[in-house]
Amino acid sequence: MNIQILTDKIKNDEILNNIASFFPNKIYLVGGSVRDYILGKVVYDRDLIVVDEDAGSFSKKIADFFQGKWIPLDVENKIYRVVLPDKLNYLDITNPIEDSMEQDIYRRDLTINSIAIDIKSAKILDLAGGLDDILNKKIRGVRDSNFMDDPLRILRIFRFYSLSGFEIDTHLIDVVKENNALILKPAKERVEYELMKLFGGKYADSALLKMDECGILELIFPFVKELKQVPPNLHHHLDLFHHSVETIRQVQLLYDTSSEKVRQHMDCVDFGGASRLAHLKLACFMHDIGKFSTWTIEEDTGRHRFIKHDDVGAKLAKPILRKLCFSNKQIEYLTLMIKKHMYPTAVVSSPELSEKVMMRFVRKMEDNAIDNILIAQADRLSARGPEITQEIVDENISSLNKLLSFYLEALETLKPLPKLLDGNEVMQILNISPSPLLGQVMKALQEAQIAGDVVSKDDAVAFVKNSRMG
């Protein structure tokens, strides 16, 4: 890489330029910020090390200067965040380890994250050879002992592999293999954060295979052992583990070739601090975890059956996700995708794919419709067993694209369904008190509205009366 290009980027960074111009301190831009500049990425999170002043007092001055929000992230280790007024850019500010930039660099995880640059002089400090590794697309560790000191760094290896596609150094692979059990030590909240960064990467599928090669994937996700036991069959050319990983790859390919509107939706961070795409890839990885426990083989035909594996999988996923400290909103989304991963295909398999049928799907899935269609398409593209011809695949994908187009068009005019009757009105009509029956009737009424069978208040009253008769 032309070093001049890097230094020019730093000098032209308005935020850094303001800090360098108005503050006399010795300040370095470090870590991922420098790496991302080198890789040509847009940088919003800048990691700064101030050498000659306490990070706490300095970060407060920076917050006042930019009129931003000051947040003490880790007072003990002197890590502070300044969120700028645009709420997009932020600065993480700390002091060097042992008051030494050299020690700070040598205590980092990967060489590609160990580069520092003086924001005033633009002088580059590259003691571990990070620049060459970025040029050579190589992931190397700074020191083996650093991964023992903080085992979460083991997972970060694969996170950065997923994000960059860089080759992991063979020595680093050996280090992970020898110490893979350490991955069980970090707090589950930290593991969840790294996992979602990993699943958000373009090469998440390959990263999972590398993790499996190193013996850490089953430690984090014990269900992987069960997935590996379900072999290829008439519908699947891969065993269940590799099918699940392939589904992740297919979702990424679908995203890459989707319309801008679809990509914008999948880029949204609606829950858990990671994109919908990252969460959908995790759902892809887990979408068939119910198959092992529902697996039967017909004696006469030899066919593999997995009856209600979608429902079972959604139930099995909840305790797994809770153990990894996923939030309730994340779990709700992930279990919905697992439970409904075959729903879009069932919709388009209707004898007549009418607007009414498609609208029912739109109403039921609402904001999750795009996600649901993508996982269904990825699942179909990842299953190429002897009975699945290219014609079958093409027809299914085409029908699902039709459903997607219908949804995107419907968004322009779609309005929330009106509430035709409230609970009190239903109780009055049926002459009942609050009870489970009320909930059942209200749910059935909503389903009838979604299906288009109930469109007015008179329809709703008639429906409720009829439910009593039923």
Nearest to 133 by CA among 153, 107, 114: 114
User: Could you give the residue ranges of the DSSP H alpha helices within 99-203?
Assistant: 101-106, 130-135, 144-149, 152-164, 170-178, 188-199
Cα 32 to Cα 107, 163, 247, 405, distances in angstroms: 14, 12, 29, 39
pLDDT in tens, 395-433: 999 999 999 999 999 887 777 778 888 888 888 888 888
CATH number of 221-410: 1.10.3210
Is 3-142 CATH 3.30.460.10? yes
Q: Does the structure show a pLDDT above 60 at 2?
A: no
∠ at Cα 202 (201, 203), nearest 5°?
A: 90
Every domain of the chain and the residues it spans: 3-142, 148-214, 221-410, 423-469
∠ at Cα 264 (188, 396), nearest 5°?
A: 90
The structure tokens 């609050």 sit at: 434
- Residues 158/139, Cβ–Cβ less than 8 Å: no
Q: Does the structure show a pLDDT above 60 at 469?
A: no
- C-alpha–C-alpha distance, residues 251 and 398, integer Å: 16
Nearest to 289 by CA among 216, 329, 341, 347: 341
Nearest to 288 by CA among 347, 246, 234: 246
Identify the band that residue 182 occupies on the pLDDT scale cut at 50, 70 and 90: very high
Strand, coil or helix: 26: coil
Handedness of CA 303, 308, 314, 320 (dihedral sign): negative
pLDDT for residue 468: 66
Residue 218 parent element (H or E): helix 217-220
Where does 244-299 show beta strands of DSSP type E?
A: 295-297
Q: Does the structure show a pLDDT above 60 at 454?
A: yes
Question: Whole-structure pTM over 0.75, yes or no?
Answer: yes
pLDDT in tens, 252-268: 999 999 999 999 999 99
Mean pLDDT of 333-356: 93
Handedness of CA 236, 240, 246, 251 (dihedral sign): positive
Fold match between domain 3-142 and domain 221-410: no
Q: Does the structure show a pLDDT above 80 at 5?
A: no
